[in-house]
Every structure is written in structure tokens, then in C-alpha cells.
Chain A
């Protein structure tokens, strides 16, 4: 029963988070610039712009504007994008699959590389390969993501010409309206460069983290005991030791989701990836305030959902952990 209590608590938290975010979003919107400039040409007179501003309700006091927004939001309407001329929510949801698949691609890459690499480096600390990986990971951490992205474009897109450098390629629409790039060869090739770029931020970090945790676990009493008991080395390493390195990895992983979302903005922009991050940056440039506010509210929601999932995963990995706030 405590799971339901936990979920309700989280749902309330999500609502509060989104409410606070919407107020913050609303109060900074005046500093983002004048949306009218993006809507009209250069020679439109100030009177004409003022009339349009009135029309859009931009001249109303903050409180009136916010109440109107809140009223609509409660009915599921987060406003209409100035640029797309469609409900901001549906514009963002249309772009969600692209971002989700990019993140999934990146997660796939860094999970499938960082775990073996981290374990390898922990066990064969002195080998030359481990040294190369560790040095490489320092470099990887220090290079800004947009630089990695541009380097990738030049190397694989232009100089070698192996992979497409922009866009998402052919997509296939699944029956429930989800546009996927996973099912076409073109889509997969387009995914490679951006997801490698995006994973490049996480990969070095996770290799180092897994290595450090694994080394610690290898030195603990229970591992030594397992060894002394005569369990096969393989089992000691990959079941007993490795399982205990996962907990901190999941914690950091959960926290890093935010970073990952932030970096999709940069990655998507360089690769012209038609996802939410690129959409957001464009919206900021165009002062598309309804879209900006809707985006940050949705990202806030994603944070809460991801953290909830991370908390669940905890209990699966380590039965000693209880769901926060749940009694029992």
C-alpha cells in the first residue's frame, strides 16, 4: 500500500514544481525580449505593434496574464506558440520522440561501454589499455560538448563522408503516432553522430565512477569472504562486487538526467536534430514565450518522473533502501 502513498506524494510534488516553474517562467518572460519584433517586419509602426500587443494580451498586468494562463493550463492548454501557431503542448509532444530516441541512443552507448570499461579498469588497473581509457576519459570530460559535436560533423560528415551530419533522416510512424527513427537504416545512421556526441559527456564520468566503486567493492570484507569461500572469481566480481557498485551509479545517473536534458539542447542544435532541445533554443531566439514556458514546465515534469523511477530502481537493486516518505 505504501507505493500508492508514495506515488500520491510525488504527484503532489510534481504539481507544486510545475506551479513554481510556471511562476518563474512567467516573471522572467519580459526579460526575454519583445515577441512582437519576431512577429512583424522591420517597417511596421510602433502603433501597429502596440495594437497587436494589446490583441495578444501582452499589455495586461502580470496578475491578469498569469491567471489567464493558469485557467487555461488547468484545462490542459499551455498557450499557443507564436511561431508554430499551434498549441505549445502539442508542438512539444511532437518533438518528444526525437529527443527521447536521441537520449536512448546516448544511454545505450554509455551504458554498454562504461560498464565493461569501468570494470576492466578496476580489475586491470596497471594494464596499458586501462591507462589509455583513464587518460582518454580526462580528455573526454574536459572537451565541451559543442566542440565534440562540431568535430564529429567535420570528421565523419565532411572529411570521411561516412555519416549524415544533420537531421533525423527517414522516420517510420508507429500506429500510436510515434515517429521512430529506429526502424529505418537511414534513421539509425542519422542517430549515430548525435548520440555519440551526447554520450561523450556521460561516458568518461561513468567509467571513472564505476571503476572507483568497483575498486572499493573489491576491497570489502564480503568480497574477500566470497573469495575465501572458494566462489569462482567471475561470480565474485560480476555478481557480488558489481551489484554493489550499482547503487551510487544509479544515484549519479538519476541526477545526471538533468544534465543530459541540458546537453540535448546543444547537441540537437548542432546536428539540427528536430527535438525538444533544439525547439527550445529556437523558441528563446524567437521570444516564443508560450513555447518557452510550456517547455520548462514539461521538463520539470520529466525531472519529477525520472526521480520517481530512480527511487523505484533503488528498491530493486538494494532491498535495504525504502521508498522515501513511505512508512513501513
Chain B
């Protein structure tokens, strides 16, 4: 076995030198660096970006929002509540330990103890190692989301972490937050938090077919957007994200750089609180407000085209996306609806928005407030930094609150679970439903969709939910925030970026 593997490695090296472009160094800049090296400490974009460099998931999303096998070579559904993953053989961790089913089971159990990840894994009741390369997952009921969830399983090196310390610590130092052993294409060579992380290519990487030729990758966090853009334009870095809307054109037009954009999946909404403001409890008033807000205009003028106008939560490509729902903007109709509802003279409402959370967040709110003024809804707008905004959001401190949401599971039901189901502190459903919108049918359909394994039926359920929300104007959908990456010409970033915003840098090719 071992000789075979050595032979394979040797072959890969020989092939590598003839086929692949020469090894390259990638300097890249994000707006922040990962909080921790522990992939289970915080569920955030930064953590997942790091996980895809240092670890490998069982399976991962591809550009068509479909699944590609990674450490799981194949999978099969045994029955409604059981799924079996067959692991790839001959994969080793950075420490040299071989990766087995034991490691995968251990990782899943650890995920179930992480405050951030346990929610995603709630329906996985057990994970067992059937043999060295087979893992069996049991769910508490029929589950259509086993594969979605498996994209979050990045097998960790059990022996390595058990020796050093496997504890997940939110605050304070831990072994796992400073040391890492995964199977991924990169090894963390050096890390100075907030200053830089240096990655070196894993010489024993199992995926010999990966076209990636980045030998060293250096991540520098650059917080200020203009500085980040300047670093790219001056050639100090090869690749940046995110790109602020104001600089899109500049990067696109520069001869040495290119811009890669993609429709995102983060929906930006305004939630209308039916409990705080009685006018907002009237569906006609909510509809009038939806008609009064020109979200197309917001995307064009404020987002500079850097967004996709939305009429629902689910972006295209999600099962729940209902193609019949189109953006509405008609001030006359809005006024008529206000009259019908008995609010011809309008009413007053308070509104709160963050000013550093979403792209142009406070400008969007200012525009929305001005548009609502046209139908005599007088908005008292307060904006604040996100650190102060979230406690206010939890208090439901205003009649209208802004919320952006990206479904961690890349699935439509997630939107409903958190944003539109009736708030219930016991089940945690509707945790971000600040509007207090409640519709029994929406609740039922969403719950049903969580155990529906028939894809067509499930799509029908979730699309029906979107339709109800649309007809009742449960909230005001504005747009999906687009994603953008800027890169030096020759850095083939377009081949490895995706809508989840975790570029597969292991596969990145730099041409010279």
C-alpha cells in the first residue's frame, strides 16, 4: 500500500513538472483574516474560506449548485433516514496520520458540540464507522438535506487533536485555535493574527488531478476598501475580495486587472413589525409599501448594478425559487392600496438600519424612507454600527428593521426557519422574524419540507411558501447582494470562485 502511494506521488510529481505551470506565489487580501484555526469555533465566511484551504469537506458545492465528491468518494441513500458515505482511500493528514472513518465520526461528534454548528447538525442523530472507509449517518426523520449538511464536514485529525487538546473555546486560548492538521491543499506555515497568514502547498495532497499551481499563498487582511483596491491596482496583491461597488468599473477597465462577479445569495430585506405598529399588521399597507419601494432603482442607483433585484427570498438555483414572482413598483397602485386600507393620510413608523454590515446598507434605508414618504409613510430612520444594531434588532427596537440573510444550508427552507416562521423561543424558529409575521400555512409547509425527500414535491412546497409571502407582503425583499472578486490578469480566479464565496484556492491556476 505504502509503496503504491509513493509510486503514485512520484508519478504525480513527474507529471506535475511536465503538465502543470510552474509553482506560483499568490498574494491575496480579504477584509479580515480568520478568527481562529479551529474550523468549528465560528460559523462564518472566514472560517469556511480557511476550511477549504486547510481541510477538505466530504463533498463540496460546484458552480451549478450541485455536489462534487471530495473526501467522500461516493454516497448512497440506504433508506429514508440513513445515508452511507464511502471515503476516499490513501488520504493523509498534514501530521502524517491516515484519514479514516474514525476521524470523520469524531469530527461529526465534535461539530455537534459546537454552539455555532450544532444547529446545522441537529437532525443527524448518529454517525458510525461501518469500516475504515465507510461512514453511516442516521437522521431523526427523512431528511432532504443530508448532502447539504455534509458540505460542512471537514474531517479533522482525531489523534492530533486528542493529543493536543480538542476543546472548542469561544473565548481564550485553545490548542485547536492555534494548531491545525487537516487534509487540505495548504498547510498553515505562519500566522500573525490580523497581519498575515502564510500557506504552503501540501506536498502530499491526495488530489493529484487538481490543476492548482499555487505553491505559497499569503493572506493579508486589508480592512479599508480603498486600500485593498489600491493594493490590487498597484500589483502588491494578486487577488482581492470583497470589491466595493464604487471600484468595480476601475478594476474592470484596468489593463492589468480583471473583475469577476456573480449573483449572490444573500437577500436584503426590510422587516415590518406587525406588533409594534398596527398599520403594518394590515396586509394591504404592507403591499402598498412593497409597491412604493423601487428596488430596481435601488440596485441601479445605489448598488451601481451590483445586485439582483428580488421579489422573494430564494435566489435562482434554490429549490424554493418561484419564477412567477416579479418585482413590483407602482406608486399609483401603492397609493390606492393605502386608501383602501384607510391610511390615505399615511402614518408614522420608526426604522433602524446598520451602517457597516451590508453593502451600502444605510443608503438603501435612506432611499427606502424617501420612497415611502411618497405614500405618506413618515419614516423616522436611525442608523448605527452593526455592533450596536444587533442588540437593537434582538429587542425589536423599531417598526421597520433591515436584515440580510444568507442560508447556511444553501437551501430555501432555511430562510423560512429563521425569517418567516412564527417566532418560538422553544424551537428557535423565527429567531430573526422581527416583523412577527405569522402564517400557519407557511409554518406547516416549511416543517413539511424539512422531511420531504421527494425533490419535486419539496420544490412545490417551498415555492408555495414564497408565493404566500409575496401575496401577503410578509416583508419587503430588496435585492440579492452580488459577489465580486478582483484579480490580476493571469490569476484564473473565475475558475475557482463560487456563490458561497469560498474560493477553492487549492485548484487555482496562475498563468505566467
Contact = CB atoms under 8 A, between A and B. Distances in A.
A285 B357 CA distance: 11
A32 B234 contact: no
A274 B194 contact: yes
B224 A270 contact: yes
Interface stretch (A18-26, A152-160, A246-254, A303-311): A152-160
B231 interface: yes
A165 B29 CA distance: 13
A200 to B, nearest CB: 17
Which interface residue of B220, B224, B385, B390 has the most chain A CB atoms within 10 A?
B224
Interface string A86-118: 100000000000000000000000000000000
Interface in A28-83: 31-34, 37-48, 52, 55-56, 80, 82-83
Nearest to B227: A166
B234 A158 contact: yes
Nearest to B222: A272
Contacts of A37: 386-387, 390-391
Interface residues of B, number: 48
B42 interface: yes
Given A153-B227, A166-B227, A270-B224, A83 B35 contact: yes
A264 interface: no
Interface in B159-187: 169-174, 177
B364 to A, nearest CB: 19
A84 interface: yes
A165 B432 CA distance: 40
B490 interface: no
Given A166-B222, A279-B194, A85 B172 contact: yes
Contact of B223 (A42, A85, A282): A282
A177 to B, nearest CB: 14
A158 B220 contact: no
B206 to A, nearest CB: 29
Contacts of A33: 385-391
Given A41-B116, A52-B115, A34 B171 contact: no
Given A41-B116, A165-B227, A287-B387, A85 B177 contact: yes
A164 interface: yes
A153 B230 contact: yes
B436 to A, nearest CB: 15
A263 interface: no
B171 A85 contact: yes
B359 to A, nearest CB: 16
Interface residues of A, number: 47
Contact of B116 (A40, A55, A284): A40
A9 to B, nearest CB: 38
A295 interface: no
A86 B391 CA distance: 26
B355 to A, nearest CB: 12
A161 interface: yes
B418 A43 contact: yes
A148 interface: no
> Across chains A and B, which 5 residue pairs bring their CB atoms closest together, nearest first?
A33-B387, A41-B43, A41-B116, A37-B390, A45-B428
Given A41-B408, A42-B43, A166-B222, 19 more contacts: A33-B389, A34-B390, A40-B115, A43-B43, A43-B119, A43-B120, A45-B119, A153-B226, A157-B230, A157-B236, A158-B230, A158-B233, A166-B231, A166-B236, A270-B224, A272-B222, A272-B223, A272-B224, A282-B194
27 contacts: A31-B388, A33-B385, A33-B386, A39-B170, A40-B115, A41-B44, A41-B116, A43-B43, A43-B408, A44-B116, A45-B119, A45-B428, A46-B428, A47-B428, A52-B115, A55-B171, A85-B171, A85-B173, A85-B174, A154-B230, A158-B230, A166-B222, A167-B195, A270-B224, A270-B226, A272-B222, A285-B356
Interface of A: 31-34, 37-48, 52, 55-56, 80, 82-86, 150, 153-154, 157-158, 161, 164-167, 269-272, 274, 278-279, 282, 284-287
